[in-house]
Structure 1
Amino acid sequence: MTTSIAIAEKITTLRQVEEKLGLTLSSDSRFFTEWMVELPALSEAEQTRLEQVRQNYLYQISYGSLLEKTVQMVVLSPLLELAGFYQAPYRFKTEVSVEIAAQGDNEEILRGRIDVLILQARLWIVLIESKKTIFDLELAIPQTLAYMAVHPNPEQPLYGMITNGSSFLLVKTLGKQYGISDIFATRSQHLNNLSGVLKILKHLGTLMT
């Protein structure tokens, strides 16, 4: 008998990602280098716009934790626009229903509806509600990998970005392996900041097209 279970209830740890989806963290340092390669500098206009996004975020967060829609308007949407993802040839969908057949003796179908943007079907951007600590991104990794596991062509590189507005993580899946980037922070003015996120998104966009 097949059992239907919500993804959010069943895939909550990286151990479950391995046991139920067969995905393992790659130990190859060359597996996910797309976020570490030397990338072209941003234009002065792009840097100015990103600084305004950062200031807008700092102002809004000074009043407390931000709701998902606020994060989307203040941080995520400007970032995607600067990356060129609102223009051809990119397309995106939101709130996509997914089904995953879990591994194991019991027949389990994991179901969920994800609040993501799918760009060219190979870049998934997962927006989680802003919380108080940076570790919420870590908690979102298992579910993000579960959503990415439904891709019809697992032998093709698939990229994802997880954000709660204050922080960003990038992930990659290929076959039965995955890799995770360092954390990028909206608040930062130095390394691993919004500029780094935008450069990587633009780079991933060129890889997809």
Structure 2
Amino acid sequence: MTQSIQAKTLTLRDVKTKFNCQLAEEEQFFREWIDGLPEITDEEKRYLDKVKAGYANSADYPMIEDTVKMVVLAPLLFLADLYLNPFHIEAEKSVELVTVDENILVRGSIDVLLLIESFWVVAIEAKRSQYSVEAGLPQLLFYMLNDPSPDRPTFGLLTNGSNFRFIKVIKQDTPQYALSYEFVIDRANDFYEVFRILKRLAGIISSNTSDT
């Protein structure tokens, strides 16, 4: 009998054991978030600065539903041209997170978005900011490992609105994954780097898509 797996119940250990997925140890495995990043224009910097200011303003008030996507993620994807062909957005899944923090029941959610084949985004939303980006890693790995393109690398982005990590998965032979450093929206030029990496990965995926 085929075992049914619910993504919302998965832990990172579950993903590693059920899919034999391993953390890549080679430094060269995921160089796409480091090498060949595009330059950023002054106009793009001004736009990103405005997004950062909007996030800072929103963070002063109680979080509302869809704050992550509306305030930070949506304008970031827009600036990176990820609403244009060949990309499009499909809302794949929404997973609820429930924890107890200081005797307060805290509810959040993980929204999984598919931008194009082989490019996933996970947005973590919470009423309070205790959910790290790693909270969505098991679910993101699950969807990336089930991507129907085993011959090409799959890329993803984890964000809770303030923190960002990129991920790469290769499914050939033994599935492997690697993560970028964690970027923080209000730390130095981190948000600029997030945008540059996003553009770089979008260019790689767009090129891979046109070659098929």
Structure-1-length-normalised TM-score: 0.83
Instruction: Note the alpha carbon deviations across 1:40-85, whole angstroms, 9 max, x for none.
Output: 3211110001000001000100123x34411111100000000001
Matches within 5 A, 1:109-188: 115-130=111-126, 131-133=128-130, 136-175=132-171, 176-188=175-187
Q: State yes or no: 1:6 paired with 2:6.
A: yes
Unaligned runs of 5+ in 1: 98-113
Aligned to 1:203: 200
Q: State yes or no: 1:80 paired with 2:116.
A: no
| SS across alignment from 2:28 | coil
Aligned length, in residue pairs: 187
Deviation, structure 1 residue 88:
1.5
Deviation, structure 1 residue 184:
0.9
Aligned to 2:209: none
Structure-2-length-normalised TM-score: 0.82
Unaligned runs of 5+ in 2: 95-109, 207-212
Matches within 5 A, 1:40-59: 40-59=38-57
Deviation, structure 1 residue 204:
0.8
| SS across alignment from 2:55 | helix
Aligned to 1:30: 28
Aligned to 2:188: 189
Q: 1:143 to 1:116 in 2, by over 3 A?
A: closer
Q: What RMSD in Å do the two structures reach over aligned CA positions?
A: 1.8
Q: Distance in 1 between matches of 2:35 and 2:148?
A: 28
Matched to 2:182, the amino acid is I
Deviation, structure 1 residue 115:
2.8
Q: Distance in 1 between matches of 2:65 and 2:153?
A: 28
Q: Distance in 2 between matches of 1:2 and 1:173?
A: 24
Displaced runs of 4 or more, over 6 A: none
Aligned to 1:106: none
Matched to 1:199, the amino acid is R
